[in-house]
Structure 1
Amino acid sequence: MHEIIAIIQAYQQAAAAGKKTALATVVHVEGSSYRRPGARMLITEDAAITGSISGGCLEGDAFRKALHVILSDKAMLVTYDTADEDDAKFGMGLGCQGVIQVLIEPLQGERGTAIIELLQQATASRQYASLVTFFSMNDKKAPQYGSVYLLSEKNESFGMLPLLSKEMIDEEAKQVIQQRRSSFKKYQIDEQECIVFTELIQPPVSLVVIGAGNDVIPVVKMAEMLGWQSVVLDGRPMYASRERFPMPTCQVYHSKAEQILDRVQIDPRTVFVLMSHNYNYDLSVLKVLLQHPLTYIGVLGPQKKMKMMMDDLAANGIQLTDAQKDAIHGPVGLHIGAETAEEIAVSIIAEIQAKITASDTRSLKEKQDAIHRRADLIIESSSSTVI
């Protein structure tokens, strides 16, 4: 989401300056790669780049291809085989051991406007959406229709479908939103093979921090770097000030504990961290939060504080469900030997990331299988009747 927003802004600036642009999107990967399908990069004709499609090894060649796309005003699918040790195309052994399909689309005229409008709609509200992209791998001279359609969680649709019926695409798009996982399907249309990449677009993480002390500042700064949206609430007006938290996407409010939800919208991507250093304030907030289904509630402080909270809740007749116990993380953060406020912020942000992605927190060197689920990249052959 953060990357898409940056690309929209860069496109608008380029368009206002009369510069031509192209959009490169990773549409499929076989094996390993630095970025996954859905990674995007905007390229302007004067070599300005926003976003990325790799760790830096593919961007140079993709830029050259993008210039050709801009001049020809025709989309192109480019295949990068980083597993081919004899391929000296990049001038280095990449060692990624993957095959990466990158679709490069010109953003001029009505087509470019339509693509950017789809991206704008995908980021316009805090809801899940499916972005549909058509491309062909077996015949690269065939039309590469690219990103053409968007379906929101509220069943609002945008764009036009060049192939297949709306009913067929909507069915797959709804399934992607429900399962929270992108999909790839192969269709045979008039003896031509077409791949449909239905991409899950997720709203950014909404991080709500209770407390506005100095140790909250690095937490919000790191969240900003990740493209998360932050809200800081504190009962002390001298701490809850915009001057202390000038980050563009951060909102700061002075609020009583019982009224915090007047300032916050809770959805499946909303997480809370209690860092007020005021036991009674944190406990009052926790009582409010337990009335709502939440994925993550972090509580700063030692084990003794967490036990006191559990005892006080029980004394007030509040019995936690298994889901609530699973959501509460106290002491907050991963055990990485953190001491400074910045180190503690790293441990908190890392734990939240692991929680919202349902990932374990062991070292990658201990992981025997692939880092990312290979099953998510399988291209299924559709058995549906093509209209």
Structure 2
Amino acid sequence: MKELQEIINAFDAAQAHGKQTALATVVHVEGSSYRRAGARMLVTDDGQLTGAISGGCLEGDALRKARLVMAEQKPMLVTYDTTDDDDAKLGVGLGCNGIIQILIEPINPEDSNNPIALLRPILANRENAVVITVFNMNDRQQRQYGTCMLVNANGTYTGNRPQGIVTDELAVYALQVLQFGDQYNKIYRNANGYTCFIELLQPAIALVIAGAGNDALPLIQMAKVLGWHVTLADGRANYVTAARFPSADTLITARPDELLPQLTIDARTVFMLMTHNFNYDMSLLKNLLPLAVKYIGILGPKKRLSRMLAELAGVEAEDEIAIPANVYGPAGLNLGSEDAGEIALSIIAQIQGVMNNKDAQPLREKGYIHERGVV
């Protein structure tokens, strides 16, 4: 989501300076590629690039084709085939062993349904949305409809619905992606020779950190690098200051029972309890346990967490207490972390894995890096 925000900011800046723009989107991948379907890059007529569609090897050629698209004001589907080991003949030297389809669309600011206009509302609301992109790999001379429709969280559609392609049946698939995005966040459907790429876009992760100690600093900084929204809370007013935590989006001074009413909690909200105050963390944990949040991290040893849960349950045998599936204590992955920065890295990595339903296994143990889209 951070990349999309940067693309829209770059588009607004380009418009302010009277520049033409085009949007390049990875719409289909066979085999391996650096970026998977859904990766986007904004191109201006003077060669400025925002976002990425590869590790840097496709961007130069995409820039040349984007200038052609801007001149003709007509979308273009470009194929990069690197399944041949001698891919240097393409002039890009990818070495990825995949076939990558890039759709390049001109952005006409006067068109209320241009790709940027459709994508912009996603950032304004913390709600899931589905984007439908339509292209034709069989006959590139046919019209490439491109980024044409947005399905909002309430199931309403905006944009241009290509007749005979985005059928009622396909609209049902889009609603399924919206509802069951954890299982199907990218799928493809074929209709009258066209391929319809149905993609789920989710809000940025909202990280709520309870604890304004110095060890919260690297955690906030890393979260902001990823584009997360960060709220920092603590009961000590002299600790929760903008001077100490300039990167935090929201600062709250509150007791444990006062915090949650001041927050808007959704499916993309996660919590990290690190006040180093046993009673504060336990009181906040008590309020969080009934909520359907995917990640509650707690700093400190497992025995500390077991004691909290035992006291909350009113029992003495700490070893008999089951830790809820959404509670992670000690928080973080086993990276051998020692200092605050390394611990923050392990926590951020764990949250990313949990929110993406991944088990954080080494990539070398997988057959491929990215999940394949459901066809």
Same fold, TM-score > 0.5, yes or no: yes
How much does 1:112 deviate? 7.5
State whether residues 217 and 245 of structure 1, in contact with CA within 8 Å, keep that contact through their aligned partners in structure 2. yes
Partner residue of 1:148?
148
Paired amino acid for 1:237: A
How much does 1:147 deviate? 0.6
Paired amino acid for 1:172: Y
How much does 1:232 deviate? 0.8
Partner residue of 1:385?
none
How much does 1:307 deviate? 2.2
How much does 1:239 deviate? 1.3
Partner residue of 1:174?
175
SS at match of 1:134: strand
Task: Mark the CA change 1:224 to 1:184 in structure 2 (over 3 Å): closer, same or farther.
Answer: same
Paired amino acid for 1:176: V
State whether residues 85 and 93 of structure 1, in contact with CA within 8 Å, keep that contact through their aligned partners in structure 2. no
Partner residue of 2:110?
110
Deviations 1:318-375 (A, max 9, x none): x9997x71111101101111111111110000011111111112222223x222222x
Paired amino acid for 1:372: H
SS at match of 2:191: strand
Partner residue of 1:384?
none
Q: What is the CA–CA distance in structure 2 between the aligned matches of 1:200 and 1:163, rounded to whole Å?
A: 22
Partner residue of 1:186?
190
How much does 1:97 deviate? 1.2
13-22 or 164-173: which moved more? Answer: 164-173
Instruction: Return 5+ residue gaps in structure 2 as ranges.
Output: none
Q: What is the CA–CA distance in structure 2 between the aligned matches of 1:341 and 1:201, rounded to whole Å?
A: 32
Instruction: Return 5+ residue gaps in structure 1 as ranges.
Output: 380-387
State whether residues 113 and 159 of structure 2, in contact with CA within 8 Å, keep that contact through their aligned partners in structure 1. no
Q: What is the CA–CA distance in structure 1 between the aligned matches of 2:157 and 2:82, rounded to whole Å?
A: 37
State whether residues 58 and 92 of structure 2, in contact with CA within 8 Å, keep that contact through their aligned partners in structure 1. no
Deviations 1:295-334 (A, max 9, x none): 11000012221122122122279x9997x71111101101
Deviations 1:136-194 (A, max 9, x none): 10111111111111011112321121233563443121011122022111111xxxx11
State whether residues 241 and 253 of structure 1, in contact with CA within 8 Å, keep that contact through their aligned partners in structure 2. no
Paired amino acid for 2:22: A
Partner residue of 2:302?
303
SS at match of 1:326: coil
Partner residue of 1:373?
371
How much does 1:135 deviate? 0.5
Deviations 1:53-75 (A, max 9, x none): 01111111111111111111111
State whether residues 113 and 148 of structure 2, in contact with CA within 8 Å, keep that contact through their aligned partners in structure 1. no
Paired amino acid for 1:103: L
Q: What is the CA–CA distance in structure 1 between the aligned matches of 2:115 and 2:126, rounded to whole Å?
A: 20
Partner residue of 2:251?
252
Deviations 1:212-254 (A, max 9, x none): 111111111111111111111111111111222222x621111
State whether residues 87 and 95 of structure 2, in contact with CA within 8 Å, keep that contact through their aligned partners in structure 1. no
Partner residue of 2:62?
62
1:46 equivalent in alignment to 2:41: no
Q: What is the CA–CA distance in structure 2 between the aligned matches of 1:92 and 1:43, rounded to whole Å?
A: 18
Count of residues in Structure 1 that have an aligned counterpart in Structure 2 = 369
State whether residues 87 and 94 of structure 2, in contact with CA within 8 Å, keep that contact through their aligned partners in structure 1. no
Q: What is the CA–CA distance in structure 2 between the aligned matches of 1:157 and 1:113, rounded to whole Å?
A: 12
Q: What is the CA–CA distance in structure 2 between the aligned matches of 1:275 and 1:218, rounded to whole Å?
A: 13
SS at match of 2:87: coil
SS at match of 1:212: coil
1:330 equivalent in alignment to 2:329: yes
1:1-387 alignment to 2 at 5 Å?
1-91=1-91, 93-111=93-111, 114-164=114-164, 167-180=168-181, 181-188=185-192, 193-247=193-247, 250-315=249-314, 325-367=324-366, 369-374=367-372, 376=373, 378-379=374-375
Task: Mark the CA change 1:281 to 1:109 in structure 2 (over 3 Å): closer, same or farther.
Answer: closer
SS at match of 1:325: coil
SS at match of 1:110: coil
SS at match of 1:117: helix
Paired amino acid for 2:279: N
How much does 1:113 deviate? 5.9
| Structure of higher RCO (CA pairs closer than 8 Å, 6+ residues apart) | 1
State whether residues 57 and 93 of structure 2, in contact with CA within 8 Å, keep that contact through their aligned partners in structure 1. no
Paired amino acid for 2:35: R
Deviations 1:60-117 (A, max 9, x none): 1111111111111111000111222223245464221111110000112434763211
State whether residues 224 and 230 of structure 2, in contact with CA within 8 Å, keep that contact through their aligned partners in structure 1. yes
SS at match of 1:209: strand
Aligned Cα RMSD in Å? 2.0
Q: What is the CA–CA distance in structure 1 between the aligned matches of 2:345 and 2:54, rounded to whole Å?
A: 24
How much does 1:271 deviate? 0.7
Paired amino acid for 1:88: A
SS at match of 1:336: coil
Q: What is the CA–CA distance in structure 2 between the aligned matches of 1:330 and 1:66, rounded to whole Å?
A: 49
Q: What is the CA–CA distance in structure 2 between the aligned matches of 1:158 and 1:234, rounded to whole Å?
A: 42
